[in-house]
Structure 1
Amino acid sequence: MTVGCGAWHVPLYSELLNNRSGNSNAAQRIAVLEVCVAVLGRERIGLVLGDREFVGRIWLK
């Protein structure tokens, strides 16, 4: 998770996953987003970006 304005972004949170597949699952993605919401508050999050692994309807809800 980073916060930023324009070209400047500062990392606030990262997590190393302990799995052998190399990909996160829906539960892990939900957990990361819950941390983001807890730290920043839902009303302060303007945009969520993810790479190609961040797909699926379950966690996006």
Structure 2
Amino acid sequence: MRALFAGIEAGHNGAPVISCPYPSGDLCRSAWIRGYAKGGPESGSSQPSDRSPSSQ
């Protein structure tokens, strides 16, 4: 759980995904990346979609 919440916080803060502190193959790395994806700026609904009808 700690890795997941750390990833969410990193995503909210705009840290690069390469800042994950866990090595490849560690289950905590997977949890951190899931948290990062959940907490990242693209996960919020306040951002306009790139696929809006006006951009096509």
TM over 0.5: no
From the CA coordinates, give the structure whose radius of gyration is larger.
2
Kindly indicate whether structure 1 or structure 2 has the higher relative contact order, using CA contacts under 8 Å at least 6 residues apart: 2
More helix as a share of residues: 2
TM-score norm. by structure 2 comes to: 0.30
Normalised to the residue count of structure 1, the TM-score between the two structures is 0.29
**Which protein has the bigger strand share?**
1
